[in-house]
Amino acid sequence: MPLFGGKKTLWNVKAKALSKYTRKVDGSEMPPIYDIEKVSEIQREIDTLIRPNWEYVHPAIQDFISTWNDSWSHLLQEKSNLDSELRQKDTLIENLKANFDQKLRELNNLIQTLKDENQSKENELTQKAQLIEDLEAADTENKLGITDLRQNLETRLNKMNQELTEKQTNYEKTQIQVGQSFQQKVLELDSQMMCLNEELSQKEEIINEQGEKIKDLQKQNQKLHFYESKVEEYESKLNQIAEILEYEKEGENIEELEE
């Protein structure tokens, strides 16, 4: 069965155009350099066949392979950058969570401390109130002025209770605000990570598509090398035939001269 199913190919349809082609990519006269570990096994096998025979590959194909390799390498670098950025976002979220938990613990400890202080003050004022009651029972109200002292202590107690309540309310509000701020920051980072993941998926699809195109090109190049070998073989045979014909013609000329 003929190659390519009997169809015409680039090599016999555009032969004249290819013969006039001039190199357009600097450095394509040398095979591209890439990380051999990042390609598949079949690509490594094809590379083993093409690389030693690169000088026999048509300049148009050399330019084409070199430009595809540059695009592929660029996409791999972009993918690596996106992966690095995702890791940085993950680290940032972990740090925010750790800081948020630490702030919550500090606020809870502070609120508990205020509650303990409030309870201690209440116990102290209760003891003082009990002392005043004892003094009231022991002496007359006008002589010692116990009533005014009691009122002053009750006023101070009410004021302290009010201040402690306000502080506790403010700390609780602060705790809620910190939680809301953290949640908003996490949502923003999650949104950014979704965008990065989507972009990464698109880049991977492009890399896969280019990888398939490079495989097809490498197969065509391998066939071209086969045809070039056949052409060289036919040219060698034609030269041998021409030499034989030339030799026979010279023999005929010698016989004519002898006659």
Q: Is 222 exposed, middle or buried (0-12, 13-18, 19+ CB in 10 A)?
A: middle
**Low-confidence winner among 74-88, 107-121, 215-229 (lowest mean pLDDT):** 215-229
Highest mean pLDDT among 30-39, 56-65, 137-146, 167-176: 56-65
48: CATH: 1.10.287
Would you mind telling me the total number of residues written for the chain in this entry? 259
Residue 147: inside a domain? yes
Residue 1 has pLDDT above 60, yes or no: no
Question: What percent of the chain lies above the pLDDT cut of 70?
Answer: 78
Give the C-alpha separation, 225 to 57, whole Å. 7
Q: Select the more confidently predicted residue: 147 or 173.
A: 173
- For residue 29, give Cα distances in angstroms to 20, 25, 63, 178: 17, 9, 8, 62
- Which residue has 């394509």 as its token pair? 28
* pLDDT exceeds cutoff 60 at 59: yes
- Domain contains 206: yes
The whole-number pLDDT of residue 29 equals 93
pLDDT of 200 reads: 76
Hey, what are 138's tokens?
């022991």
The larger pLDDT score, comparing residue 250 to residue 109, is at: 109
Using CA atoms, how far apart are residues 166 and 14, in angstroms rounded to an integer?
88
- How much is the pLDDT for 130? 81
Lowest mean per-residue pLDDT among 6-10, 201-205, 216-220: 6-10
Is 11 a member of any domain?
no
Tell me what pLDDT residue 142 has. Answer: 56
Average pLDDT, the chain: 79
Tally of domains in the chain: 1
Residue with tokens 């690596």: 80
Residue 212 predicted with pLDDT over 80: no
Residue 5 inside a domain? The answer is no
**CA–CA gap between residue 28 and residue 69 (Å, rounded):** 11
pLDDT at 237: 79
Continuous segment of H or E residues that includes residue 95? helix 59-138
State yes or no: pLDDT of 156 exceeds 90: no
The DSSP code for 139 is: S
The mean pLDDT of 223-250, rounded to a whole number, is 72
Is 32 part of a structural domain of the chain? no
Is residue 14's pLDDT more than 70? Answer: no
Q: What is the mean pLDDT of residues 197-219?
A: 76
Q: Is 24 exposed, middle or buried (0-12, 13-18, 19+ CB in 10 A)?
A: exposed
Using alpha carbons, select from 163, 184, 174 the residue that is nearest to residue 108: 174
Calculate what percentage of the chain has a pLDDT beyond 90: 15
**Looking at the whole model, is its pTM more than 0.75?**
no
Distances from the Cα of 220 to the Cα of 11, 48, 215, angstroms: 10, 15, 9
The whole-number average pLDDT for the span 46-54 is 91
Query: Is residue 106 assigned to a domain?
Result: yes
In this structure, is residue 181 part of a structural domain? yes
Domain assignment of residue 57, yes or no: yes
Domain span including residue 141: 39-258
Supply the pLDDT for residue 146: 60
Per mean pLDDT, which range of 36-40, 62-66, 235-239 is the poorest? 235-239
